[in-house]
Amino acid sequence: MRFEEILLKVEKPGRYVGGEYGLPDVNKPRKLNFCMCFPDVYEVAMSNLGVKILYDILNADKDIVCERCFAPWIDMGKALKENDIPLASIETRKPLKDFDIVGMSVQYELAYTNILYMLDLAKIPFRAKDRDDSYPILLAGGPCVANPEPFADFFDLICIGDGEVADLEVAKVVMKYKGNKQKILEECAKIEGIYVPSLSEMKDGVCVTPVKKTVVTDLDKAHFPVKPLVPNIEIVHDRPILELYRGCYAGCRFCQACFFYRPIRIREKETIKKYAEALIKNTGCEEIGLSSLSSGDYPDVCGLIKELSTLADENAVNLQLPSLRLDSYTAELTRKTRHGSLTFAPEAGTQRLRDVINKNITEEDIERTMRLAFSEGYRSVKLYFMVGLPTETDEDVLGIAEIAKKVKRIYIQTTGRKDINISVSTSVFVPKPVTPFQWVAQLPIEEMKRRQALLRSELKKVKGSSYSWHEETTSFMEGVFARGDRAQSALIERAYELGAYFDGWSEYFKYDVWVQAMNETNTNPLKYTGEQPMDKPLPWDFIDFGVKRAYLEKEYNLALQEKTSEGCKFGCKGCGANKYVNCKIQKD
């Protein structure tokens, strides 16, 4: 069966046909063929801003053509295998194995088997050591490179940090030494932010060859895609996105992104407005979104929203805000946006636990924000929490339900109505690298279940509320990989052989397969989910993220004392990241 015939039989053929509005010239003369891959489906991949940025940067280079390839859904994957058709790019149907570089954006731990799924369909050997000069150079990037060790054996190169500069430098090296893999690896090892696993020195199973994170120092001068592709089908975040700034002022101790993306770099208001105008013009969008780790903390965010709202009104475009911090909400922030549902993340149910995690919001912040939102016409609130945070007790868990009850009382007091919709969602805390909690233990699965059941029972008493939660087994496996080491490549490979892929999709996650794979590879999951000794090196300690280990230790000790520390917006706290560039500290 030909590929065109397969398209008539699979779900959502628009995922694979290409030809989107805004497509660059993929037929131009070139010296290098680059394929940007994403180990999930089209709808997820096309929502990712990082992929859009790198795709645009690479195609802007006169010597490079960059194409895309995303993980085919299960029906398409089976059809490709049954018909012996190798996985190929969306733009020109060029097989992945015929590219010079295959780049993979690794966004979350449960995508690791999908890396192998795509390589398997592409007929590319899984391990770097098994690929000779005839295969493309495999390059990884994305948030999971905060600890790249579990998948390091599968890649030739791994970009640590911002890829805007490093990816281009890698491309130039590959152009120069095409066909000589060893020389390419040796030269790329000299590029800041590029980690070459095969050339690194290992000691007691831990890498000791230092790598320094690469950082875009000036966001105003950084490349931004103002002519992004307009997707063929509806995607997860079906709107163009404006990145306001990188980094985060808050300092929440559980949040990897807060520390991994430091230092704080701000895009100036005039630049954002210019990009907004171009995105509206070039995409014909009905909605435009703002993106950063905490958009409400952008300096003069109210002034920015006012100006963008005027622009949106003039073009009949809706302005969409992401999740807000409870202490950064003002009526001006949302007055010009659609009155659907507001999203907040208190994270913990009691003030004590919020102090432990350094979520610097108070009961007064919650009450003030809810009263303001309801007086502005909002009737629906989404609240996000975590279960299993360090030092958490049952009282803290039940405190989540108490917040839901308080929100309902405030709604009735403010509006005189009872028709509120309160959506409560909990994820299970996973200790992540490059955070003050990188040493703490994760809850066992049975305790995860017990605490979620406790909360579920209490929330049934709150009329107008609904509760959703993250599956315990998927959270457990996320915890296994978050602090994993090189030995886990065997586990990932065996799990894939046993049928594990699309693990990030709950209906396809097979915990029994992972248990079997762990048993067959002699993997003790408690080695990774249990408490980590503070006097021993961690698998990712060879990477200089800017944030000093001593700073993370200090914040961990403050957490155990239930003490908070001020966020970066009130002045530099000396984490070390400003050695790259001085953080932009708020003055208002």
Confidence label for 291 from pLDDT (cuts 50, 70 and 90): confident
**Ordered DSSP codes for 58-99:** HHHSTTEEEEEEEPPPHHHHHHHHHTT---B-TTT--BGGGS
Average pLDDT over residues 150-166: 96
> Residues 378, 337: contact at Cβ < 8 Å?
no
Tokens of 323: 């999740």
Confidence label for 588 from pLDDT (cuts 50, 70 and 90): very low
Distance CA 286, CA 526 (A): 48
Confidence label for 327 from pLDDT (cuts 50, 70 and 90): low
In single-letter form, the type of residue at position 182 comes to Q
Instruction: Give tens-digit pLDDT for 15-41.
Output: 999 999 999 999 999 999 999 999 999
Confidence label for 587 from pLDDT (cuts 50, 70 and 90): very low
Instruction: Give tens-digit pLDDT for 228-287.
Output: 999 999 999 889 999 999 988 889 999 999 999 999 999 999 999 999 999 999 998 889
Average pLDDT over residues 67-73: 98
Greater model confidence, 341 or 212: 212
Distance CA 508, CA 500 (A): 8
Instruction: Give tens-digit pLDDT for 522-560.
Output: 999 999 999 999 999 999 999 999 999 999 999 999 999
Instruction: Give tens-digit pLDDT for 557-583.
Output: 999 999 999 888 788 888 998 888 877
Pairing of strands 101-105, 137-141: parallel
Instruction: Give tens-digit pLDDT for 415-431.
Output: 999 999 999 999 999 99
Q: Is the pLDDT of residue 584 over 80?
A: no
**Ordered DSSP codes for 455-492:** HHHHHTTSTTEEEEE--HHHHHHHHHHHT--TTHHHHH
Average pLDDT over residues 178-192: 97
Q: What is the pLDDT of residue 496?
A: 98
> Residues 70, 41: contact at Cβ < 8 Å?
yes
The structure's pTM equals: 0.94
Stretch (H or E) spanning 553: helix 549-560
Q: Is the pLDDT of residue 86 over 90?
A: yes
Q: Is the pLDDT of residue 338 over 60?
A: no
| Domains of the chain in sequence order | 3-212 (3.40.50.280), 241-487+523-579 (3.80.30.20)
Distance CA 356, CA 485 (A): 28
Pairing of strands 245-246, 265-266: antiparallel
Which residues have C-beta within 8 Å of that of residue 110, sequence separation ≥ 6?
Answer: 474, 477, 478, 481, 503, 504, 509
Confidence label for 324 from pLDDT (cuts 50, 70 and 90): low
Q: Is the pLDDT of residue 330 over 80?
A: no
Cβ atoms within 10 Å of 579's Cβ, excluding its own: 13
Q: Is the pLDDT of residue 443 over 90?
A: yes
Pairing of strands 157-159, 194-195: antiparallel
Confidence label for 302 from pLDDT (cuts 50, 70 and 90): confident
The maximal CA–CA distance of the chain, rounded, in angstroms, is: 73
> Residues 154, 126: contact at Cβ < 8 Å?
yes
Distance CA 569, CA 567 (A): 5
Task: Give me the torsion for CA of 23, 26, 32, 33, rounded to 10°.
Answer: 80
> Residues 49, 16: contact at Cβ < 8 Å?
no
